[in-house]
Amino acid sequence: MNYSLAKKFTFGSLMMFALPTTIMMIFTSLYTIIDGVFVSRFVGTNALSSINIVYPAINIVLGIAVMFSTGSCAIVAKKMGEGKPEEARAAFTSIIYLNLIVGAVTAVLGNLFAVPLVRLLGASDLLMSDCITYMRWQMAFAPALMLQILFQMYFITEGRPGLGLFLTILAGLSNAVLDYILIVPLKLGVAGAAIATVTGYMIPAVFGLIYFAVSRKALWLVKPRLSAAELKETLINGSSEMVTNLSSGIITFLFNLLMMHYAGEDGVAAITIIQYSQFLLNALYMGFSQGVSPVISYNYGSRNTKQLKQVFKTSLIFTGVTSFLVFATAQLAGGIIVTIFAHPGTAVYDLARHGFMVFSFGYLFSGVNIFSSALFTALSNGRVSAVISFVRTLCLIVLCLLLLPLIMGLDGVWLAVPAAEAGGFLLCLFFLKRHAKTYSYI
């Protein structure tokens, strides 16, 4: 089969192959960020805080979607590398149906229990109304959000990362235009931001369904067939990425509680701005890792160790160099980034500006950490990947959030993520060295 993953990748060709996915992830992260810019500028920082209060619930949906997509993608790409395209298509189709079912259930439950959910997430009386509005719109379109994440991965596996990029850019531009129209002239506030975002979800979701229904390139819809063992492998394989997203929701919840305690609604708005910046900067690593993952899975399945070593070496060089560049950019342009969301001289700006300088030290380590987790997922070792994600994105951060603020006050909150990323980096080095001979990537 003439499949694009089977070709020989050099440093330059691998960069070009991963580039559409990297840009795609950046545009995907811009969904929430664009909402935040328009809401903070034209509605107010309290409305921005409302969106962040709801975010942990959205993270649960994202976590499930990413688990299904990354976990199944590793299996499908591996089957293709083993010369089993029919089994790959059957598994792919099953995952689409599974996403639709889980998304529909989430949409119903999310709307029925929206009020107690936002209370549980820490919404104050001042933020309650906007939180409920944003929650209900986001949950109603959970199936579209999940399919968007799924198709982003499978356009890469299909050998059409450029198509996925085009759809993501189109969705992002639609989101931005609708944000302006619905928030500024129509003055719909948080509801306008939510409508713009879910409209963006629909574009790649609907097109992806149509494409894979009629395409006959590598993947298309067939009679679904996924064994219990393959479903279990999918869940285990993608568990690390799910842990990452669920951890993000839990950490956001803890950040909100701590910032509400130390600085009130202004503190929640400040941490929201910093987290938006983190979404954007980490999207570079996440996009690259997702872009190269099918290549790793394919060459692992076809036992092409020479190509696997080349991909691994290229990936480490890329993540190492860009980690320093992203950190330097954050240090030099931190004030400019914060200004996008908050006016200089305000309490929110001062809090976010100082916090960003401390928080950005985590970018020195996060590139290698994100790639290492994705590497083991691509190698169908979901257990190691899950350990890396669980320890790095949940255990260490929670521990740091519980201890450092007691010692350092508000600065301890800002320092929690860099400290956890440094610990996660050491853990990744341990696993990379331990499994080097097993998978022959060195």
Mean pLDDT comparison of 23-37, 46-60, 179-193, highest-scoring range? 179-193
Judged on CB neighbours under 10 Å (0-12, 13-18, 19+), 67 is: buried
**Cβ atoms within 10 Å of 213's Cβ, excluding its own:** 10
pLDDT average, residue stretch 335-341: 85
Average pLDDT of the chain, as a whole number? 87
> What band does 172 get if pLDDT is binned at 50, 70 and 90?
confident
Provide the strand spans (E) within 215-357: none
pLDDT winner (highest mean) among 39-43, 193-197, 226-230? 193-197
Q: Which has more confidence, 30 or 425?
A: 425
Q: So what's the pLDDT on residue 113?
A: 95
- What pLDDT was estimated at residue 76? 86
Closest by CA to 204, choosing from 253, 145, 271, is 145
Q: What percent of the chain has pLDDT over 90?
A: 34
Q: Look up residue 217 and give its DSSP letter.
A: S
Is the torsion defined by CA of 193, 280, 24, 440 positive or negative? negative
Closest CA to 255 of 165, 121, 130: 121
The stretch 403-407 carries a mean pLDDT of 93
Contact 147, 205 (CB under 8 A): yes
Report the C-alpha gap between 142 and 279 in whole angstroms.
20
Asked if pLDDT for residue 440 goes beyond 90, the answer is no
Q: What is the per-residue pLDDT for 2?
A: 39
Q: Which phi-psi region, left, alpha or beta, contains residue 44 (left: φ > 0; alpha: ψ -120 to 50)?
A: left
Of 246, 47, 245, the C-alpha closest to 133 is 47
Highest-pLDDT range among 25-34, 75-84, 253-262: 253-262
Q: How many Å apart are CA 25 and CA 279, to the nearest integer?
A: 9
Q: Is pLDDT of 210 > 60? A: yes
Tokens of 161: 């990362």
Instruction: Give dist(CA 380, CA 74) in Å, integer.
Output: 7
On the question of pLDDT at 87 being above 80, the answer is yes
pLDDT on residue 5: 67
Asked if 66 and 289 count as a contact pair (C-beta separation under 8 A), the reply is: no
| Cβ–Cβ < 8 Å for 219, 157 | yes
Q: Find the domain containing 390 and state its range.
A: 4-439
Q: 154-179 b/e with 16+ CB inside 10 Å = b?
A: bbbbbbbbebbbbbbbebbebbbebb
Domain count, the chain: 1
Q: Tell which wins on pLDDT, 114 or 168.
A: 114
Rounded to whole angstroms, how far apart are CA atoms 359 and 363?
8
| pLDDT grade for 130, boundaries at 50, 70 and 90 | very high
Q: How far apart are CA 82 and CA 75, in angstroms?
A: 10
Cα–Cα nearest to 283, from 340, 352, 202, 366: 366
Task: Report the pLDDT value the prediction gives residue 281, as an integer from 0 to 100.
Answer: 75
Of the chain, the end-to-end C-alpha distance in Å amounts to 28
Q: Is the pLDDT of residue 3 over 70?
A: no
- Among 2-11, 21-30, 145-154, 403-412, the least confident range: 2-11
Residue 145 has pLDDT above 90, yes or no: yes
> Locate tokens 């450029």: which residue?
162
Q: Is the pLDDT of residue 1 over 50?
A: no
